[in-house]
Amino acid sequence: MRRGRGGAILAAMRRPPASQSAAFVGLAVLVLGGPLAAVSAPNPVRAAATAALEPPTRPVLAAAVPEPSHEVTSERLGGTDRYGTSVAISARTVPEGGVPVVYLASGAGFADALAAGPAAARSGGALLLTRPDRLPANVATELVRLAPGRVVVAGGPAAVSEAVVDEVRAALGPDVPIERAAGPDRYGTAAALVDGAFEATTPLLFLASGAGFPDALAAGAVAAAIGAPVLLTRPDRLPPETVRAIRRLRPERVVIAGGPAAVSPAVATAVAALGPTVERVGGADRFGTATALAKRFLPDASTVLVASGLGFADALAAVPLAGRLGAPILLTWPDSVSWPASVPHPTRDELRRRAPTSILVLGGPAAVSEFVRYELVGWADGRLSVPPPEPDYPAFDSRYHNPTELLNAVIVAAIWRPDLVDIFSIGTSYQGRDIWAAKVSDNVTVDEPEPEVLVDALHHAREHLTVEQALYLLNVLVGDYESDPAVRRLVDEREVFIVFALNPDGWAFDLGGSPYRGWRKNRQPNAGTSAVGTDPNRNYDYRWGCCGGSSGNPSAWNYRGPAPWSAPETRAMRDFVESRVVEGRQQIRTHVSLHTNGELILYPYGYTKVDVPADMDPVDQRTYVAMARAMARTNGYRPMQSSDLYITDGDQIDWMYARHRIFSFTFELYPTEQVSSHADHEPPDEVIVRETTRNRAALLYLIDLADCPYRAIGASDRCG
Ligand SMILES: [Zn+2]
């Protein structure tokens, strides 16, 4: 994948004029797989300035996107509901059909099914779920396919009704024996299930809490794989039915799954009093316990099953499959669109250690999203990297993506849809960090003759929400591609470029505060002063410094720099935009620069209050107004000419329009302009989903109009 993509990038980048060497070099190094940090080496001027004024800090994003260490296949076993999922898992467990026994358990609770799993595995059978009051049709069909020699119903009539038993009999015929394994409660039913499947002595027995599903599920998988039974206990005392079963089985060793909060020390003492040695295998939480069980009992398994750690429904039937494959079950969070920690750290670290070759995800996308599925693959094959300890968001804002989590999220999208997502760097920052970008389109490795769109974020370091907005757009274009025909059409018929953080040095510096520094500019030193930083959005060369819309004072928040293009970050943006001129024609037709805050949609010019100055086509001006109003109707922002907010000169959108005739907008995101404070730029992470989703329609509109922006005023004839 890397190689094919790289070749295409090279081909695409052959087109720009030779002056665009910075972007070309960055991409060429990516193609060769070398460290991108090396790109900064050939610039002696910058190296000297760096040495004299500020030693570069260690770049956060120094490494190139890595090659996978090995191939990891992933497969989803899921149906439309838990019953369908149990059928899918059964079909994967026993594809050949024909089993000695099928265990049938209620899907309404977890306890009976969890105890039945190792029993089914021990007997070479399968486990299916049923509704308490009726047998789902797809489950009946699977029962017939499995053609079991007998059926064991887990639990009494309250768990699985006699009506269901009658339906099983009707499906399989009168010759297949149906028996119940039931006790007075879940503990008794677990003991009865074990009684029916395991002989009188067993070397090893697992004991898990019957009060929650995660530990018993993980214990069930390893127990099934090594042929051991699982019994359930109350957290604080050992139930009498469990005592009776332990006495009958006379195990040499009992493994308690989970920490002392899940199964109390008093229970461990009670078990030891019955004779066996007691070993506790647990972690700090459910994720840690599942990982600890996997490492302790199946350390070398090359296949892992992964289930949601939040709901039991989709993994219940998987224990016999785990037994057949010798595979552990690990747990994850279900989704991750705005939650970087979607794969919990114990699970992540175990995938990195184990490097499995096969991952089976249990349940449909509502249980474990596709994004998480490919994140699991990325951890397993080494393409994702662990975030460095700093700089990072504080715990209360942990749903913001830090720089490494952002790159991981983009890589996950590329792992998921390598046909749609291409990652590259448009160049490096002053301190040598890569400025990462993604291209999203069908046939993404080919530079097709399709209208192009640019979305960029984080010119200004503290404007954290803009990064989430850019990532949200990537998630929409990739995640909704199959399900939303409108999104699919745009991805197929446009080429969308997303630059996620133009100012990575300022971002890292801002995050180094407590919690934030409120930093805006880049981190470039200024000769003759200790004041650091240039405002990248005043450093573009169109009408640079012309009109009082920027400052010549290096300590000012809107310092324009000593000359146009003095900031490496704006040069990288310039070179990228100019590289999209193909055969004399700029391919990018629409653009948005994401900023905070104010809930505004701004259009050029910023340098003058005149609506239609000599350097603007009056029809373009009408088009701008129409597009801004159309987008504002979808997100509730206020549309206005940039200079109506305040005069700016040397900013990006003036340059994009004046030099390239790109219909270029600034979005000032949530919140509205309030009392001026840094907090305006740093809203709590609770608003990320709401405030990024809010711009879905506006961004899709902008992408749509790239074929002919004049459609906004009904003048598509202007596009010829
Ligand atoms: Zn800004």
What distance in Å separates the CA atoms of residue 597 and residue 473, rounded to the nearest whole number? 18
- 3-class DSSP assignment, residue 63: coil
What distance in Å separates the CA atoms of residue 291 and residue 344, rounded to the nearest whole number? 11
Using pLDDT thresholds of 50, 70 and 90, give the confidence band for residue 101.
very high
Catalytic residue among 167, 463, 495, 668: 668
279 is a catalytic site residue: no
What distance in Å separates the CA atoms of residue 501 and residue 460, rounded to the nearest whole number? 9
Cis amide leading into 597 (omega within 30): yes
Residue 262: the pLDDT is: 95
Compute the mean pLDDT over every residue in the chain, rounded to the nearest whole number.
90
For strand 495-499 and strand 452-457, is the pairing parallel, antiparallel, or unpaired? parallel
- Taking the centre of ligand 1 as the mean of its atom positions, its distance from the CA of residue 456, in whole angstroms, is 11
Residue 242: the pLDDT is: 98
How far CA 606 is from CA of 401, 453, 550, 664, in Å, comes to 31, 21, 11, 12
pLDDT above 90 (res 340): no
Residue 659: the pLDDT is: 98
For strand 663-672 and strand 600-603, is the pairing parallel, antiparallel, or unpaired? antiparallel
* More confident of the two residues 22 and 123: 123
Q: In this predicted model, what pLDDT tens digit does every residue of 559-580 receive, in sequence order?
A: 999 999 999 999 999 999 999 9
- Taking the centre of ligand 1 as the mean of its atom positions, its distance from the CA of residue 518, in whole angstroms, is 12
- Taking the centre of ligand 1 as the mean of its atom positions, its distance from the CA of residue 222, in whole angstroms, is 53
- Taking the centre of ligand 1 as the mean of its atom positions, its distance from the CA of residue 57, in whole angstroms, is 24
- Taking the centre of ligand 1 as the mean of its atom positions, its distance from the CA of residue 595, in whole angstroms, is 4
Mean predicted confidence (pLDDT) in 385-411: 88
> Per the structure block, which two tokens stand in for 367?
């249980």
* Strands (E) located in 222-335: 230-233, 253-257, 277-281, 303-308, 329-332
What proportion of the chain, given as a percentage, has pLDDT over 90?
84
pLDDT above 60 (res 205): yes
- Cα angle: 25, vertex 26, 29; to 5 degrees: 80
Question: Could you tell me how far CA 305 lies from the centroid of its own chain?
Answer: 19
- 3-class DSSP assignment, residue 253: strand
**In angstroms, how far is the first alpha carbon of the chain from the final one?**
37
- Taking the centre of ligand 1 as the mean of its atom positions, its distance from the CA of residue 667, in whole angstroms, is 9
Q: Are 465 and 688 in contact (CB under 8 A)?
A: yes
Mean predicted confidence (pLDDT) in 6-14: 34
The region that residue 152 occupies, defined by phi over 0 for left and psi between -120 and 50 for alpha, beta otherwise, is: beta
Which residues sit opposite 440 in a β-bridge? 421, 496
> Per the structure block, which two tokens stand in for 375?
């994140």
pLDDT above 80 (res 220): yes
For every residue of 573-639, DSSP letters joined together read HHHHHHHTEETTEE-EEEEEEEEEEESEEEES-SS-S-SS-TTS-HHHHHHHHHHHHHHHHHH-PEE
Max CA pair span of the chain: 95
Query: If we measure between CA atoms, which residue out of 382, 415, 399, 380 comes closest to residue 472?
Result: 399
What distance in Å separates the CA atoms of residue 720 and residue 712, rounded to the nearest whole number? 15
How far CA 198 is from CA of 149, 204, 325, in Å, comes to 18, 11, 20
Q: In this predicted model, what pLDDT tens digit does every residue of 34-44 receive, in sequence order?
A: 333 333 333 33
Residue 314: the pLDDT is: 86
Q: Are 259 and 268 in contact (CB under 8 A)?
A: no
286: Cβ contacts below 8 Å, ≥ 6 apart:
212, 214, 215, 218, 309, 331
- Taking the centre of ligand 1 as the mean of its atom positions, its distance from the CA of residue 74, in whole angstroms, is 41
For every residue of 506-527, DSSP letters joined together read HHHHHHTSSS-----S---B-T
Residue 13: the pLDDT is: 35
What distance in Å separates the CA atoms of residue 631 and residue 558, rounded to the nearest whole number? 28
Our CA dihedral for 120, 121, 123, 129, rounded to 10 degrees, sits at 20
What pTM, to 2 d.p., does this model score? 0.86
Residue 33: the pLDDT is: 32
- Taking the centre of ligand 1 as the mean of its atom positions, its distance from the CA of residue 381, in whole angstroms, is 37
Residue 655: the pLDDT is: 98
How far CA 308 is from CA of 84, 222, 238, 368, in Å, comes to 16, 17, 28, 6
Q: In this predicted model, what pLDDT tens digit does every residue of 135-153 receive, in sequence order?
A: 999 999 999 999 999 999 9
Q: In this predicted model, what pLDDT tens digit does every residue of 238-255 receive, in sequence order?
A: 999 999 999 999 999 999
What distance in Å separates the CA atoms of residue 402 and residue 398, rounded to the nearest whole number? 8
DSSP H helices in 33-98: 44-53, 82-93
Burial of residue 616, with CB atoms counted within 10 A of its CB: 0-12 exposed, 13-18 middle, 19 or more buried: middle
What is the edge-to-edge ordering of all strands in the sheet holding 73-77?
A: 73-77, 358-362, 303-308, 329-332
Using pLDDT thresholds of 50, 70 and 90, give the confidence band for residue 339.
low
**Tokens 């099934």 identify what position?**
224
- Taking the centre of ligand 1 as the mean of its atom positions, its distance from the CA of residue 333, in whole angstroms, is 33
Domain positions in the chain: 2-67+386-719, 75-380
Q: In this predicted model, what pLDDT tens digit does every residue of 606-664 receive, in sequence order?
A: 999 999 999 999 999 999 999 999 999 999 999 999 999 999 999 999 999 999 999 99
pLDDT above 50 (res 173): yes
- Taking the centre of ligand 1 as the mean of its atom positions, its distance from the CA of residue 460, in whole angstroms, is 5
- Taking the centre of ligand 1 as the mean of its atom positions, its distance from the CA of residue 463, in whole angstroms, is 6
Of 42-46, 321-325, 390-394, 428-432, minimum mean pLDDT range: 42-46
pLDDT above 90 (res 48): no
Q: Are 47 and 482 in contact (CB under 8 A)?
A: no
Return the CATH architecture of domain 2-67+386-719. Answer: 3-Layer(aba) Sandwich (3.40)
pLDDT above 70 (res 539): yes
pLDDT above 70 (res 7): no
Query: If we measure between CA atoms, which residue out of 365, 270, 491 comes closest to residue 78?
Result: 365
Burial of residue 149, with CB atoms counted within 10 A of its CB: 0-12 exposed, 13-18 middle, 19 or more buried: middle
Our CA dihedral for 413, 418, 420, 424, rounded to 10 degrees, sits at 80
Residue 387: the pLDDT is: 74
What distance in Å separates the CA atoms of residue 251 and residue 242, rounded to the nearest whole number? 13
Using pLDDT thresholds of 50, 70 and 90, give the confidence band for residue 337.
low
* Strands (E) located in 446-547: 452-457, 495-499
Q: How many residues does the chain have?
A: 720
- Taking the centre of ligand 1 as the mean of its atom positions, its distance from the CA of residue 459, in whole angstroms, is 6
CA-based torsion, 366, 367, 369, 370: positive or negative: negative
- Taking the centre of ligand 1 as the mean of its atom positions, its distance from the CA of residue 571, in whole angstroms, is 18
Of 49-58, 98-107, 520-529, minimum mean pLDDT range: 49-58
Mean predicted confidence (pLDDT) in 482-510: 97
CA-based torsion, 507, 511, 512, 516: positive or negative: positive
pLDDT above 50 (res 17): no
- Taking the centre of ligand 1 as the mean of its atom positions, its distance from the CA of residue 18, in whole angstroms, is 31
> Per the structure block, which two tokens stand in for 78?
């899921």
What distance in Å separates the CA atoms of residue 608 and residue 612, rounded to the nearest whole number? 9
Residue 120: the pLDDT is: 96
Q: In this predicted model, what pLDDT tens digit does every residue of 654-707 receive, in sequence order?
A: 999 999 999 999 999 999 986 455 567 889 999 999 999 999 999 999 999 999
Q: Are 607 and 547 in contact (CB under 8 A)?
A: yes
Using pLDDT thresholds of 50, 70 and 90, give the confidence band for residue 214.
very high
For strand 421-428 and strand 434-440, is the pairing parallel, antiparallel, or unpaired? antiparallel
The amino acid sitting at 473 is L
The amino acid sitting at 314 is D
**Tokens 């990228």 identify what position?**
576
Mean predicted confidence (pLDDT) in 250-267: 97
> Per the structure block, which two tokens stand in for 57?
């800090």
Residue 681: the pLDDT is: 80
